[in-house]
Chain A
């Protein structure tokens, strides 16, 4: 296991000096749920170290797209490859941060136990968490700056803190791809900026893909943006033509998201 990890990091290093390796490749992917089309002929390529933002209206297939990459939904048509393999056979880990409303705020569980959940695996069944699991969980909490809050029930935290806890859970296994479903929902704008700082830092270590219905929630930190409304509109850069957004949302939208002045200045090193 250890050896496998170091090998894959080495592979990543050699790749990054030449051409960035492709993490996700979707070719002509279509998904429908009992005749209701969720995705239609979607083509997408995500490279390692990409920070990819996908915007689109509610019901536009954003969550489905992530689930296709995770292997939770299998498309009726098209090919999906994660690190060159079918999703569930991906040779490297994929971290997943589900939508915040996918869990019950009243659930009696501490941050610590949520993060430890990231260590679950089929091979680990019938075994209690060991020292190695706990060290990994602590490390992930450190990365997101949540070690102090680890004994708190998850439901007692603010939206931003909860999001950090869920990101920590996804980081526990050192993923090389991180998928986030509406990470900025339920998070106030000041905290959004902090979360972006965190994600931006993480994007040096892994590819990140986030989806959002909120145009203003995709910030300058994201380096590629696509629009999704059943079909995916993407032109290989951060600039999206207004027509794409209109096509995706089905109505003209004032472009205030991209290049929107940020109150907190981005740090330069």
Chain B
């Protein structure tokens, strides 16, 4: 079993899983407590446009994804603030427009796009060193931002109006939060793909939420859960020779279900004992 660690591709895969897990645990916690799952889905799908553009113009798809993710996230923030479009309508439009752009761009690009599928559903076994470096930098940016704005972001998530009364620039902090989501999505794309991103962004924090009572502890536990699920998922997918991204997600769903069921049984027992 341990011998697989000697393969370069496996080392890269595990490193990618860990880096993605860190970003997901931290930013996913905000996504879950502030209920931004749908907007995350929209940003993630919109990045397909960037991947398509990269294919067409011949640059690294990850850069295209980064460009589109950040533009989509910030554009979302501006649109819902400045227009009368309701947020979920805006997200729906963004979601589909990004995908449509991607399809057109890929169609225009000459030749067959062999690893397109891996951007949609993830293929961690083809991660390159350069992409790992990019993920490492994104993780650094995410963690530094969260550390710098921790108490303000907490206030914006918990009670935005109060934060505004206290003089906190809440609109800008919302944008920071959206940008963090965009960076996280880019970090995770190689691991589970743009279609499955929401699961890795929400399941580990949802599990962590069951055992914690503060945002910072939820974040730490979510990072641990998400890194473990990624690593276990990669190992499992290698052993069973099945798709890595989908394996991570199914393992995560199973873990969440188990957690919820055991919590229920325990709560039921506790109620019986006291009652």
Contact = CB atoms under 8 A, between A and B. Distances in A.
Interface of A: 70-72, 94, 96, 98, 102-104, 107-110, 113-114, 116-118, 120-122, 125-126, 128-129, 153, 169
A116 B162 CA distance: 12
A120 B155 contact: yes
The residue in A72, A104, A120 that gathers the most chain B C-beta atoms within 10 A of its C-beta is A120
A246 B234 CA distance: 69
Contact of A117 (B149, B159, B214): B159
Given A103-B158, A122-B169, A125-B149, A72 B215 contact: no
Contacts of A153: 213-214
Report, as a range, how many residues of chain B touch the other chain.
Answer: 20 to 34
Nearest to A122: B167
Interface string B199-219: 000000000010011110110
22 contacts: A72-B165, A94-B165, A96-B162, A102-B161, A103-B158, A103-B159, A107-B33, A107-B157, A108-B213, A109-B214, A110-B214, A113-B214, A116-B151, A117-B154, A118-B166, A120-B151, A120-B155, A120-B168, A121-B166, A121-B168, A126-B148, A153-B214
A107 B168 contact: no
A125 B154 contact: no
Contacts of A129: 151
B131 interface: no
Interface of B: 33, 148-149, 151-152, 154-155, 157-159, 161-169, 209, 212-215, 217-218
B86 to A, nearest CB: 14
A118 B162 CA distance: 9
A110 B165 contact: no
A110 B218 CA distance: 12
Nearest to B173: A125
A117 B215 contact: no
